[in-house]
Amino acid sequence: MYVAIENIFSQKVRFRWLVTFAFGLIHGMGFADILLGMDIPKPYVAIDLASFNIGIEIIQLCLIALAVPVIRYAQHYKGYFRTVQAASILIAAAGAFWLCERLL
């Protein structure tokens, strides 16, 4: 939600990598906590956690490899910023819905 809201109100973003890292770390800890609650035998927890994280990272790298060329190409068009804002509004709304759903 934070990055989507930032996209709506700002064209120039600084330190996004730091924000992404912090939120990714918090998000990853949530997944680790879920895995610990799954009754996995103790000797396999580290292997399962590492396997899960490596799998997620590989998928994310593949998605980035597909998305970056498309995004770089789209940045040359006049309506790019407006399109980013519109998509960010939808993403922020979905994030707000999921946040409320989990809190309530």
Which residues are CB-neighbours of 88 under 8 A, at least 6 positions away?
Answer: 3, 4, 5, 7, 8
With a cut of 80, say whether residue 32 has pLDDT above it. Answer: no
Q: Mean pLDDT of all residues in the chain?
A: 88
DSSP 77: S
Q: Give the C-alpha distances (Å, rounded to integers) separating 86 from 5, 9, 93.
A: 11, 11, 11
3-state secondary structure 17-50: HHHHHHHHHHHHHHHHHHHHCCCCCHHHHHHHHH
pLDDT tens digit sequence for 78-90: 999 899 999 999 9
Q: Would the pLDDT of 25 be above 80? A: yes
- At 94, the pLDDT band (50, 70, 90 cuts) reads very high
